[in-house]
């Protein structure tokens, strides 16, 4: 894991090692799965040696069945260990992208490009200064009101229509 210790440049910025969370528990889980796969390989080798010593070639069909089952389980455990390592890498990538996006957005809002961010900052400055807040009155759309007009949907307090009408 030597390449984890170096900050890797992504575009114009780099992610510091301290920015990434150390998924310690997940790393141990991945190591546990790989250790279980190695243990199964050692146990399988021991079982084959002991089976051949005790029963000779008569134990070969039974040992081949055990070999096939145990190899499949060991490979699956090893693969799960690799998947856990992949999940850790995905977590690092997602965290790095969030950090870089946060840095970019903070730089763009500091630059004061106008727009909604600077408008919100001006409102906040007025509120901190003790001035009255700016109120905006937005005219309502009469076609969307339920009080009158051309409202084709039934009102909540209206009686249901009689059958046959």
Per-residue pLDDT of the chain (165 residues; tens, 9 = 90+): 445 554 555 454 666 776 667 788 889 999 999 999 999 999 999 999 999 999 988 889 999 999 999 999 999 999 999 999 999 999 888 888 888 888 888 877 665 555 555 666 666 666 666 655 555 555 666 565 555 544 455 555 555 566 665
pLDDT computed for residue 107 by the predictor = 79
Contact 102, 17 (CB under 8 A): no
Token pair for residue 72? Answer: 């499949």
Total structural domains in the chain?
1
In a domain, 62, yes or no: yes
Token pair for residue 24? Answer: 């310690």
In a domain, 65, yes or no: yes
The domain in which residue 61 lies consists of 23-85
pTM above 0.85, yes or no: no
| Per-residue DSSP letter, 157 | T
The residue whose two tokens read 């970019």 is: 104
pLDDT computed for residue 1 by the predictor = 46
In a domain, 29, yes or no: yes
Phi, psi of 5 (to 5 degrees): -80, -10
User: CB-side exposure of 82: number of CA atoms within 13 Å?
Assistant: 7
In a domain, 100, yes or no: no
């Amino acid at each position: 894991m030597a390449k984890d210790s170096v900050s890797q440049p992504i575009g114009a910025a780099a992610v510091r090692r301290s920015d990434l969370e150390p998924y310690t528990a997940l790393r141990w889980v991945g190591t546990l799965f790989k250790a279980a796969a190695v243990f199964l390989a050692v146990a399988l080798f021991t079982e084959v040696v002991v089976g051949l010593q005790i029963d000779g070639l008569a134990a070969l069909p039974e040992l081949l069945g055990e070999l096939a089952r145990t190899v499949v389980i060991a490979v699956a455990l090893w693969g799960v260990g690799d998947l856990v390592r992949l999940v850790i890498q995905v977590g690092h990538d997602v965290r790095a992208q969030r950090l870089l996006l946060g840095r970019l957005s903070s730089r763009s809002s500091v630059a004061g490009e106008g727009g909604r961010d600077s408008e919100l900052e001006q409102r906040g400055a007025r509120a901190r200064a003790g001035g009255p807040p700016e109120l905006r009155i937005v005219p309502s759309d009469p076609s969307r009101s339920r009080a009158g007009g051309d409202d084709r949907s039934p009102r909540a307090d209206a009686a249901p229509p009689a059958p046959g009408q």
